[in-house]
Structure 1
Amino acid sequence: MTIHSLLPEDAPAVAAMRQAASAHKGEKLGPEARPMFDAMFAATPAAADVRIEPATVGGIAGFWLRLPNARPGARMLYLHGGGYVLGSAQALTNFAGQIAVRVGADTFVPDYRLAPEHPFPAAIDDAIAAYRGLVAEGAERIVVAGDSAGGGLTLSLLSILADDKTKGMVQPAGAAAMSPWTDLALTGDSFETRAGADPIFTRGVLQAFADMYLQGQDATNSKASPLYAELNSLPPIRIDVGDDELLLADSIRYADRARAAGVEVTLSIWEGMPHVFQSSLGHFLAAEQSVDAIGAFLRQRLIDVSPSNSTPSEA
């Protein structure tokens, strides 16, 4: 575990963000908030020379992010966040593109189905289909990344794919999750210890998302909450999370369980940072540092996929 202190350069921007967010903290968000959420992520600066192409992979619509000098045979699958209710592939193309150029791999961002129209397990089923589609199209090395709910999908996907090893399924070379939601049962102690510090979420907001997605199904189902999944034989994982998040414990507990299962895990905790702060490139220096480190971690996984030769990457 690495703890990154709040950078003095970021302190004014963090204070301004907290003041702006305070009036809206605790507001429950449903489908009506999709345009607002998409606009927020679409504001992430676009990376240079990324070509965006509408596409369908594995039967799932989305967007390819094509790079001018992409590594041959390598692909990244990027799974967006939004509490399983918000978010879209198109809105995340700028943010995912920033990671893609650092990884050096063409990237597919699927438009997985959203709740409440499409409850669990629609999202994870679509993520599986998109991954298998990449394999069917000839991808030789694949890394997976995601933020928030997409981070949860990323980690759930790893455990599901590990069960497919006997069927010859190409396994991810590595994965990165930003502020992953790993426990839809909301049992982490940070719901109490970070209740005041989190500038965005309350337990009620996340409970509403979970209710719209699960619609009465078991919150501890491992396909919904990867904290409860089998974590053996997973590829190297990097997790980045803000120290002021309600979901802090979701990252810490998952990392502890994965490490105990023999998984190579890099956990970076960023003091003063909010949920998925990495999307604030151009506002927080920590965002750039985290995205750079995530890119380097995933790029290394694509260069060397041999477990015996891979080494943890720290930032």
Structure 2
Amino acid sequence: MGAGPLDIGGGHLTQREMFTRMLTSRPLPADVIVDPHTLGGVPVLEISIDDVTPNGTLLWFHGGFYVLGSPRTSAALAADVARRTGARVISVDYRLAPEHPYPAALDDALAAYVALLDAAGAAGGGFSRSEGRGAACAVVGESAGAGLAVALLIAARDQGLPMPAAGVLFSPYADLTLSGPSMTTKTAVDPSFTPEAIAVRARDYVGAADASDPLISPAFADLRGLPSLLIQAGSHELLLDDAVRLAARAATDDVPVTLDVTPGVPHLFQAFAPILGEGDAALRRVTEFLARRLASEAARAPRIGG
């Protein structure tokens, strides 16, 4: 992407349009059902596979450095994961910077999560705020969306809300101070981004806040009490050390965590799973992880009438 017309550090409106055009140019498979609605007052896109009864819910957060993207730009990857796991995806259309800097995205994520808890509890799914426990739900995020997913988990924990069964983090953007060594050591092999471009977008999101705030940069957060995490990254990306340090922080804080680094591949290589063997293999590992975690949490949930 770095050599093409998309320059994530350029004018945000122009780049937002190019990003959207690039990632939505191919139609989704005919059996993918896309249903826009709202959750907790926040626009969402529900993605499911025709004739598949969902066995869980993935609350999904798209990438784009908090400035670009939407649920539609990540719908192809979300649909692939939905197909593999048998879960439905609810992809959150959180507000974007610089028009809406921190904490707008986090506020939207939290509102959607609380509404999901309440809706599932009302349906008798054993997933409710009042009971303080979750069920067959996981959070999934890509890049900035992965950082947002972790921030959501931290905020939910601090508010005493129940945790989901798991979190899956694709190439997390978890340090907006941009202090990870890979920001400089991987510049020659990252085909997508430059540190300078990422710095522009980081300023857009941080605004007047402190970039080291743990809810902006979860690499610096106390992660105790979070659910099991699967963190995936490619070795050829500037954000590699965001993933590595986030995993180390989780391990230090007694969070069950798996760090899964694939050598020789770039940022969000999983999106190329239909043509890239490493991407397909990574998503198989995601599917296995989610199957274990969702089944385990579902088994713990109270049975209706039991």
Aligned counterpart in structure 1 of residue 212 of structure 2, from 220, 240, 246: 220
- Could you tell me which residue of structure 1 aligns to residue 151 of structure 2? 156
Evaluate the alpha carbon distance shift between residue 274 and residue 86 of structure 1 in structure 2; reply closer, same or farther with a 3 A threshold. Answer: same
Correspondence for 2:279: 287
Matched, 1:248 2:240: yes
1:113 maps to what in 2? 95
CA distance in 2, matches of 1:129, 1:120: 15
Secondary structure of the residue aligned to 2:291 is: helix
Give 3-state SS (helix, strand or coil) of 1:211's partner.
Answer: helix
Give the total of aligned pairs: 285
Write the distance in 2 (CA, Å) between the matches of 1:235 and 1:44: 35
Structure showing greater relative contact order (alpha-carbon pairs closer than 8 Å, 6 or more residues apart): 1
Instruction: Output the CA distance in 2 between the equivalents of 1:27 and 1:118.
Output: 17
Paired residue for 2:38? 56
Secondary structure in structure 2 of the residue aligned to 1:137: helix
Q: Is 1:70 paired with 2:53?
A: yes
Q: Which residue of 2 aligns with 1:33?
A: 15
1:149 CA drift (Å): 0.2
The AA in structure 1 aligned to 2:188 is G
CA distance in 2, matches of 1:203, 1:21: 12
Does the 8 A contact of 1:59 with 1:129 survive in 2? yes
What do the CA deviations read for 1:248-272 (whole angstroms, capped 9, x no partner)? 1100011011011111111111111
Asked if 1:268 is matched to 2:249, the reply is: no
**Per the alignment, do residues 57 and 261 of structure 1 end up closer, same or farther by CA in structure 2, a change over 3 Å counting?**
same
Cα gap change, 1:123/1:210 in structure 2, threshold over 3 Å: closer, same or farther?
same
Query: Which residue in 2 is equivalent to 1:297?
Result: 289
TM-score, normalised via structure 2 length: 0.87
Q: Report the AA paired with residue 160 of structure 1.
A: A
* Worse-superposed segment, 216-225 or 247-256: 216-225
- Give the aligned CA root-mean-square deviation in angstroms: 2.1
Q: CA offsets per residue over residues 8-33 of structure 1, 9 Å max, x none?
A: xxxxxxxxxxxx74466966232211
> Could you list the runs of 5+ residues in structure 2 that have no partner in the other structure?
128-134, 301-306
What's the CA shift string for 1:110-155, capped at 9, x where partnerless?
1100011111111111111111111111153210001000010111
1:115-194 aligned at under 5 Å gives the runs 115-138=97-120, 140=127, 141=135, 142-165=137-160, 169-194=161-186
Q: Is the 8 A contact 1:38 1:87 kept in 2?
A: yes
Match among 230, 238, 248 for residue 230 of structure 2: 238
Q: Distance in 2 between matches of 1:307 and 1:259?
A: 26
Taking a change above 3 Å as real, the CA distance of residues 238 and 221 of structure 1, as seen in their structure-2 partners, is: same
In 2, the alpha carbon distance for the partners of 1:65 and 1:306 equals 21
Match of 1:17 in 2: none
**Separation in 2 of the partners of 1:260 and 1:76?**
26
Measured in 1, the distance between the counterparts of 2:162 and 2:189 equals: 41
Report the alpha carbon displacement of residue 287 of structure 1 after superposing the two structures with TM. Answer: 1.2
- Greater mean deviation of Cα atoms: 230-239 or 279-288: 279-288
- TM-score, normalized by length of structure 1? 0.84
1:292 CA displacement: 2.0
